[in-house]
A = this chain, B = another copy of it.
Amino acid sequence: MKLKPLADRVIIKMVEAEETTKSGIILTGAAKEKPEVAEVIEVGPGGMVDGKEVKMVVKKGQKVITSKYAGTEVKVDGEEYTIVRQSDILAVVE
Contact = CB atoms under 8 A, between A and B. Distances in A.
Given A52-B51, A83-B65, A9 B91 contact: yes
A11 interface: yes
B90 A72 contact: yes
A74 B6 contact: no
Interface in A14-65: 21-22, 24, 26-29, 36, 42, 44, 48-55, 57-58, 65
Contact of A55 (B4, B48, B74): B48
B48 A50 contact: no
A57 B94 CA distance: 23
A72 B54 CA distance: 23
